[in-house]
Structure 1
């Protein structure tokens, strides 16, 4: 009876922690979408909201870490359950970093308003951010459903984010060489592109945690393909 009670308490505590993870994930998805929209529309008010709302993401990460620490200390989970608790903390850390990158994107909006505009760049960055947001949504679904196949699919989709970044990087170099007035705005735009690419890396890390929970091991290097070449016809700014 006592063992059943402990297991029931663990499951209840874990359910609460995972509810907070989903809340945090929802806030981060919203931050990505709003930050990219504020960039495309040069909407300083929306950008400021993204920056202010990041505090809620940070607080949730702290709460999740505290809950997981108590869960481990009080419930003494067995190997499988301990794996879940540890994965939750790592997922929370990755979500917090994605939120920071979204906040940094929003910070650039006010700066870019006063600089020469690079045709098509803001729209291309918004499309890239949208792909990252969709990946994150699927990564969270994979976690809830314990779907390792979907998680592996996310690892493969990160290739497209890398290709989009590489294409944008080369486009920005071209714009800077064509007109020195483009150097400053393109540097800021490149910073945003790199941050968005890093968001994708953190989404991939979340997917890896799903695989760890379901299969009991991290994916090997073959499951994390990387490549530097790209098809420029797929990712023009226009």
Structure 2
């Protein structure tokens, strides 16, 4: 059964309604924090701001605390309410989504740590153009994935899944360019390796945004699309009769 944003507001228990709404609210708050972590980590890198990078690294604890809080809320709902059908899918989707958000927070911390390392280097930093481009792409994916979750928007979720393939292609191209830089200038190896780790972290952010979008499809349609062909997704997921 397909559900929409009103499907979780029609329970006999008003308190159960409130618990589910709070669960979604807390997940969106975590998503907003993680999105800012990624943005600040990239800003710290591009503006050579080690203080901001340190703040990102320190704020990872807040992300972890939210993850634990949401897990606890989900466990309590499962134990007390024993939800079924769409309510169970919501709780399970939130559990999975919060795990992906926590891992995005970890990737932001990795970017911040490498930004601090690069700020201490006297070398010319290669690959920042690629970092800027890919970071804009994955940040849009993350923003759209969170929006699709908040609105139960299948079309937007599918768009995010499709975008992940483009990010993978951009990542591969950027890595090839950086390998060429290292081959041409051995003095750049240390800084280029740091940039490569940053690009890898951004690629992983895209992967987790893709996961978030897949959780939306599971939540709304009850379909597991993790190993589906992207070219057939739209026909499968948006089939109004499924």
Calculate the TM-score normalised by the size of structure 2: 0.87
**Matching residue of 1:117:** 124
Contact 2:54 2:116 (8 Å CA) reproduced: no
Contact 2:60 2:105 (8 Å CA) reproduced: yes
Summarize deviations over 1:2-58 as a string: whole Å, max 9, x none.
x9543x322210100110011000001101111001011111001011111111111
Identify the match of residue 98 of structure 2 among 69, 92, 101.
Answer: 92
Q: Using the alignment, how far apart are the partners of 1:224 and 1:9 within structure 2?
A: 42
The CA deviation at 1:163 is: 1.6
Q: Using the alignment, how far apart are the partners of 1:161 and 1:142 within structure 2?
A: 19
The CA deviation at 1:115 is: 4.3
The CA deviation at 1:127 is: 2.5
Q: Using the alignment, how far apart are the partners of 1:172 and 1:90 within structure 2?
A: 34
Please give the root-mean-square deviation of Cα atoms over the aligned residues, in Å.
1.6
Identify the match of residue 204 of structure 1 among 210, 215, 218.
Answer: 210
Calculate the TM-score normalised by the size of structure 1: 0.89
SS at match of 1:117: coil
Q: Using the alignment, how far apart are the partners of 1:200 and 1:48 within structure 2?
A: 23
**Matching residue of 2:6:** none
Q: Using the alignment, how far apart are the partners of 1:224 and 1:111 within structure 2?
A: 41
**Matching residue of 2:165:** 159
* 1:145 corresponds to 2:142: no
Contact 2:161 2:230 (8 Å CA) reproduced: yes
Identify the match of residue 25 of structure 1 among 31, 48, 65.
Answer: 31
- Write the mapping of 1:172-183 to structure 2, written as runs, cut at 5 A: 172-183=178-189
SS at match of 1:64: helix
Q: Using the alignment, how far apart are the partners of 1:22 and 1:224 within structure 2?
A: 29
Q: Using the alignment, how far apart are the partners of 2:152 and 2:70 within structure 1?
A: 19
Runs of 5+ unmatched residues, structure 2 = 1-9, 233-242
Q: Using the alignment, how far apart are the partners of 2:224 and 2:28 within structure 1?
A: 22
